[in-house]
Amino acid sequence: MTARVQVPARIARGDVIQVRLLVQHPMETGYQRDDVGNVIPRNTIRTLSCRFDGQEVFRADLSSGVAANPYLQFPLRVSGPGTLAFSWVDDAGVEGTHNQPLEVTG
Amino acid sequence: MTGPIDFTRRAALAGAGGALLAGLPFGSWAQSPLLKPSPIGGTGTSLTDFLTGGTPVRLGRVRLDLPVLAENGNSVPMTVTVDSPMTSGDHVKAIHLVSERNPVRLMASFHLGPWSGKAEVASRVRLAGSQRVFALAQMSDGSFWLGLADVIVTLSACIDES
């Protein structure tokens, strides 16, 4: 599972930025069937969290009500340079992580 | 069959609809049966009570932006904004997205804090048909605020086996 994160290129200390995250995941609802009629088991990301230098700054509990390849945008006040560490886990128990460094100018 | 029977049925439906609308002025949506219907797993607890712990919900402070008309229910852009200073003493702790018609009614919960700086979260949701969507914000002082939006969905997200 891969993810893409977008943060502003120029961040000043104390800025409130919008972090944008796109995770590649089918978010199977468990209500659909494949071509030969077998139920496709539910497989959605249950929990996704973002830590900034060890402190949790955002958490989302998701369900089948979130579109495939979940897109999330959330705010963060940047106190200084550091790393955004994303981690998530789905129904199949597969975990994913992604790290995004934050450069702070000024 | 036409004539009196049809008329009677129509009148009855109109009467029922009117009574339903009359019983639900806008300000009382938080107390409306729509938010209190489906007990969770036979426990007798409504979804709202489950989220709020029985705390009364007030309408306001939460803005839920959804398109009025969504062509495809599989991916509908959604933005929730809560009116909050987001200080350590007064901030939004969580935002819950509740659907009226989806098989899984609690679509997502977002957890924020004073470090967020502002209370605005965006995502894309699945909607199983035209419905009213609710955003329930839990504040640091323990209060709950509600925002809602009506969406017409032309093509529902696949939820049944048809």
Contact B117 A58 (CB under 8 A): no
Q: How many CA atoms lie within 13 A of A96 on its CB side?
A: 19
Contact A75 B116 (CB under 8 A): yes
pLDDT of the residue at A25:
92
Does one domain contain both B49 and B108? Answer: yes
Whose tokens are 């409130």? That residue is A16
Query: Tens-digit pLDDT profile for chain B (162 aa)?
Result: 444 444 455 545 554 444 444 433 344 444 444 444 444 444 556 777 778 877 888 888 999 999 999 988 899 999 999 999 999 999 999 999 998 888 888 999 999 999 999 999 999 999 998 999 999 999 999 999 999 999 999 888 765 543
CA dihedral of B61, B46, B157, A41, whole degrees rounded to 10: 130
State the pairing for strand pair B120-125/B76-82: antiparallel
**B116 and B136 in contact (C-beta within 8 Å)?**
no
Closest Cβ opposite residue B111 in set A52, A58, A64: A58
Split into its structural domains, chain B has a count of: 2
Q: Does B155 touch chain A (CB under 8 A)?
A: no
CA dihedral of A60, A66, A72, A75, whole degrees rounded to 10: -50
Does one domain contain both B133 and B149? Answer: yes
Q: Can you give the residue range of the structural domain that contains B1?
A: 1-28
Q: From CA B69, how far away is CA B30, in angstroms rounded?
A: 24
Residue A49 structure tokens: 């969290």
Does one domain contain both B94 and B144? Answer: yes
CA dihedral of B156, B67, B76, B148, whole degrees rounded to 10: -90
Closest of B160, B145, B117, B150 to residue B55, by C-alpha = B145
**Angstrom distances, CA of residue B136 to CA of B7, B33, B58:** 41, 16, 9
How confident is residue A30, by pLDDT bands cut at 50, 70 and 90?
confident
Closest Cβ opposite residue B112 in set A29, A58, A65: A58
Interface test with B, best of A35, A44, A57, A74 (most B CBs within 10 A): A74
Does one domain contain both B48 and B90? Answer: yes
Please report residues of B whose CB lies closer than 8 A to that of A72. 121-123
pLDDT of the residue at B21:
42
Closest Cβ opposite residue A66 in set B116, B126, B158: B126
The CATH number of the domain holding residue B103 is 2.60.40.2470
Q: What pLDDT, in 10s, does the model give residues A36-70?
A: 988 888 899 999 999 998 899 999 999 989 999 99
Does residue B78 fall inside a structural domain? yes
**B153 and B73 in contact (C-beta within 8 Å)?**
yes
The predicted complex's ipTM stands at 0.92
Does one domain contain both B23 and B42? Answer: no
Domains in chain A with CATH codes: 3-29+41-102 (2.60.40.10)
Q: What is the pTM of this model?
A: 0.80
**B132 and B37 in contact (C-beta within 8 Å)?**
no
Contact A63 B75 (CB under 8 A): no
pLDDT of the residue at A34:
85
